[in-house]
Amino acid sequence: MGTRTGMEVSAAISEAVKLARAEIIAAYPITPQTHIVEELARMVADGELYAEFIMVESEHSAMSACVGAAAVGARSFTATAAQGLALMHEMLYIASGLRLPIVMVVVNRAMSAPISIWGDHSDIMAERDSGWIQLFAETGQEAFDLTIQAFKIAEDQRVSLPVVVNIDGFTLSHVIEPLVVESQEDVDKFLPPFKPVIQLDPDKPITIGAVGFPELYTEIKKQQNVALVESYKVIIEVWKQFREQFGREYHPIETYRSEDAEILIHIAGSTAGTARVAVDMLREKGEKVGLIRTRLWRPYPFGDIRKTVAKAKAIAAVDRCLSFGGPGGPMCSELKAALYNLDQRPFIAGFIAGLGGRDIMIEDFFTIVEETKRLLEEGQEDEYRMIGVRE
Amino acid sequence: MIEIRWHGRGGQGAVASAEILALAVIDEGKAAQAFPSFGPERRGAPVMAFTRIDDDFIYLRTGIAEPDIVVVLDPTVVAAVDVTSGLKDKGLIVLNTHKRIDEVPKEFDNKYRLAVVDATKIAREEIRSPITNTTMLGAFARATGLVSLESVEKQISKRFPSVAEANIRAMRRAYDETVIKE
């Protein structure tokens, strides 16, 4: 049985990693990820978690250590943010290319310069194509649940890929809120011990990560992509099992009052909660507005997105990341790509908001909906617009 | 939903107050949210922390600009920041001050409700420290009735096990000594 309790979301993630019986944690501290790894270090030091906490000298080494640990068959976890994730960049591709089921929590933070310790999604968007399964959490409960699910998804032998769980820096990571912490017994039942497909073993030496000559590289990359695309089915399966055991439902795209909505707000992460409140207020005024939230970012749930937005007139796609000189936010681009070839598709208005920890207020969502209605009538003037800029 | 802003100085435990209140309220079966003002903090500088309380899960993820209640942990912070900024009309100020309630400046008592307690004195006497976070939770409980003393005690015992007794004593005394003006 789970226990309802109040907890800081970072601590809830540490608890999830403990309940998942992670064997190796390799991490380098960086704001706003620190509370997660501090708590894990304490758990290991106090003997609450039987694991090796590897103190590394950089995030590049943290991911390298996870790669080594996963390759010998240890359940591996790390967490980072912003420049720390950027420093891992090279190793992220090694982890996915070697099909190592590492789990990482990224506490989303803006990329410097100028130095910002506050939240947005520019860190993870720079790693969009690194071959990791990528999930976004909205609440503390979801962060806890996704962290446990991530190990099961990653380690499924049909998947064998690393998974990143994204949580918003500060606005989620540093918040205390109520959530249900599941028991060790129940988590053990859900998550069996890690059985690797192949394993480094000094008694049976093998080489992994050898040279991929041009005759082979393309085939290996195709295999990797098939694995990532096909992981969708396993993710759905894991969510079904999770619902059967714990009662909480998970979908690739989360919807709220979207059924008859003419305008859909699209956003990922914790800000969806504020959007939800805005939707309720707009509905009270008789506006047909709904909310869709991308939880599964990679593999991108094309089918789900097409089905979900089919009846809407317009989508207000809000990104907490700017693609400089490009078509706007990465999530908006993906929505457009997913819908472009359809005969009937909603109008898409792109918005950038909440950069570097700027609050996205309820009123901002009112503005976004108003703008979307205007653009729907008058036609798109530019690729996207930034919300709340002081000029 | 009730929104609370805590004012203190770095090191006085404003964040702990916000968190203990949220944890106590959650323990009572309601929903709550607590968070610090996000960013680097310095010892002695004015700091803020926030708590939201509601019957159902709180989805809102913004900062609190228009609180229903402000709690001032440090009497000197009033001179440094506008603690009433955005406070709703008829909002409540729970103030740590050595002044009697009728001596508190007029801008506080006209538009707003006011509760005062000499938390620094109580904390010095009971905890032998000027850290007023647990003491002010007693004043908060008395002035608002939003949380039971028992629930707060439980959280104080959990968070500060080695000094829980003195902190609980200070909290209970503040509860008794808080003076409220509607």
- ipTM comes to 0.95
Chain B residues 55-94 with CB within 8 Å of chain A: 57-63
Q: Do A274 and B39 touch (CB under 8 A)?
A: no
Q: Cα(first)–Cα(last) distance of chain A, in Å?
A: 54
Could you name the CATH architecture of A253-386?
3-Layer(aba) Sandwich (3.40)
| Cα A152 off chain centre by | 15
Q: Do B26 and A170 touch (CB under 8 A)?
A: no
CATH number for the domain harbouring residue B124: 3.40.920.10
Cα distances from A182 to residues A17, B15, B140, in angstroms, run 12, 27, 33
| pLDDT tens string A217-259 | 999 999 999 999 999 999 999 999 999 999 999 999 999 999 9
Mean pLDDT of A255-267: 98
Range of the domain at B132: 2-181
**Nearest Cα to Cα of residue A332 among A236, A242, A265, A263:** A265
Boundaries of every domain in chain A? 3-246, 253-386
What is the distance in angstroms between the Cα of A335 and the nearest Cα belonging to chain B? Answer: 24
| pLDDT tens string A118-177 | 999 999 999 999 999 999 999 999 999 999 999 999 999 999 999 999 999 999 999 999
Tell me, yes or no, if the two domains A3-246 and A253-386 fold the same way: yes
Q: Which chain A positions have a beta carbon within 8 Å of B55's beta carbon? A: none
| pLDDT tens string A351-387 | 999 999 999 999 999 999 999 999 999 987 788 999 9
Q: Which chain B positions have a beta carbon within 8 Å of A270's beta carbon? A: 61
CA distance A323 to A129: 14
DSSP B171: H
Q: What is the dihedral of CA A99, A105, A111, A115, to 10 degrees?
A: -140
| pLDDT tens string B74-125 | 999 999 999 999 999 999 999 999 999 988 877 676 789 999 999 999 999 9
Helix (H), strand (E), coil (C) string for chain A: CCEEEEEEHHHHHHHHHHHCCCCEEEECCCCCCHHHHHHHHHHHHCCCCCCEEEECCCHHHHHHHHHHHHHCCCCEEEEECHHHHHHHHHHHHHHHHCCCCCEEEEEECCCCCCCCCCCCCHHHHCCCCCCCEEEECCCHHHHHHHHHHHHHHHHCCCCCCCEEEEEECCCCCCCEEEEEECCHHHHHHHCCCCCCCCCCCCCCCCCCCCCCCHHHHHHHHHHHHHHHHHHHHHHHHHHHHHHHHHCCCCCCEEEECCCCCCEEEEECCCHHHHHHHHHHHHHHCCCCEEEEEECEEECCCHHHHHHHHCCCCEEEEEECCCECCCCECHHHHHHHHHHCCCCCCCEEEEEECCHHHCCCCHHHHHHHHHHHHHHHHHCCCCCCEECCCCC
Q: Do B31 and A177 touch (CB under 8 A)?
A: yes
Q: Do A177 and B26 touch (CB under 8 A)?
A: yes
Could you name the CATH architecture of A3-246?
3-Layer(aba) Sandwich (3.40)
Q: Do B31 and A172 touch (CB under 8 A)?
A: no
* Mean pLDDT score of chain A: 97
Looking at chain A, which residue has its C-alpha nearest residue B63?
A359
pTM: predicted TM-score of the whole model, two decimal places: 0.97
Vertex A210: Cα angle to A206 and A213 (nearest 5)? 140
- Asked if B37 reaches chain A (Cβ–Cβ under 8 Å), the answer is no
Higher-confidence residue of A1 and A225: namely A225
Q: What percent of chain A has pLDDT over 90?
A: 97
pLDDT of residue B104: 87
pLDDT of A189 strictly over 80: yes
Domains of chain B: total = 1
Q: Do A176 and B59 touch (CB under 8 A)?
A: no
